[in-house]
Structure 1
Amino acid sequence: MFEKNVLERGRPDLAVAARKRALELRAEKYGAGSEPERHCLEAVYAYEGVLSARNGKATRDLRTWQLIKRHGIIGAVERAVSREPDVNGYAALLNLGLEDYAFEEVVLRHADLFTPATVECSRTRIDGWKTPA
């Protein structure tokens, strides 16, 4: 609601801040055990926002939630990054001002928790997405 109100009043900066705060609150509610886990959960919720906007209705990222259940939060992000990249997902996050919530960005922020291959894959993708075609 706050996001919609500030957008109507021409304050996209506050809309981005509202989106980010909503992601933080959802991750805290889930019960992340550490800051890296919280960042990973925020990324899941941000991607669900992209999916919901794309589908025109609330959409959960069931594949990633299944990975979280099987492998934990960090393990799920590791596996999510090894899937085919969703270039449109990154572009959508960028349009929302949430590019820092891409799984690859989270991996780079917490590189010590992920395999070198995952870190390198993340770095390569982010560099490719940020380089104009």
Structure 2
Amino acid sequence: MHELVLRINEPEKCYVFARNAVRKGHPELATQAYRRAVDLRAEQHDTGSEAEFAAVRAIYAYEEALSHLRGKRTRATGTWQMVNRLGVLVALAKRLESRNGEDVSPALKELAMEDYSFEAVRNAYPDAFEHQQAA
């Protein structure tokens, strides 16, 4: 990640940086800034494990992909409601089981966040999801 992007410490500033980077012809810096925004937003959450942190980060990446596809800031309201009711890992497991949501894989790939997808989190922490399915 570029040094200028790493210096940003607030998600909102990442979005400003990304808009300016695109305007000045540096889309690769904009992509890095979006990724940094997702990381910063996830770090603001209180999580109990690495798997939970990765799941929260995946939800923020999902929001970023939806925003990219729709051209305006979009929240994953239904997903966050599930997180509040059931917990982050159970909510993510349920989102993986249901296929009624938008496929954001192409947008995640375009934003260089395919490693932040729901599937990537499940593949990185299979034990955490086996435990959630048994519950």
Residue 38 of structure 2 aligns with an amino acid whose one-letter code is L
Residue 6 of structure 1 aligns with an amino acid whose one-letter code is A
Alignment partner for residue 2 of structure 1, among 8, 13, 17? 17
Distance 1:75 1:4 in 2: 35
Is the Cα contact below 8 Å between 1:24 and 1:38 reproduced in 2?
A: no
More helix by share: 1
Deviation at 1:54, TM superposition (A): 3.0
Q: Percent identity?
A: 38
Residue 57 of structure 1 aligns with an amino acid whose one-letter code is K
**Length, aligned pairs only:** 117
- SS of the residue corresponding to residue 94 of structure 1 reads helix
Q: 2:89 — aligned with what?
A: 74
Q: 2:3 — aligned with what?
A: none
Distance 2:103 2:110 in 1: 10
Q: 1:55 — aligned with what?
A: 70
Distance 2:68 2:30 in 1: 15
Distance 1:20 1:51 in 2: 14
Q: Deviations over 1:15-73 (max 9, x none)?
A: 22222211111011122222221111111111112222333332211121111011111
Is the Cα contact below 8 Å between 1:46 and 1:101 reproduced in 2?
A: yes
Is the Cα contact below 8 Å between 2:34 and 2:64 reproduced in 1?
A: no
Q: Deviations over 1:60-105 (max 9, x none)?
A: 1112111101111111111110011657311111111111111011
Is the Cα contact below 8 Å between 2:65 and 2:107 reproduced in 1?
A: yes
Distance 1:44 1:7 in 2: 24
Normalised to the residue count of structure 1, the TM-score between the two structures is 0.76
Q: 1:36 — aligned with what?
A: 51
Distance 1:55 1:18 in 2: 18
**Aligned Cα RMSD in Å?**
2.1
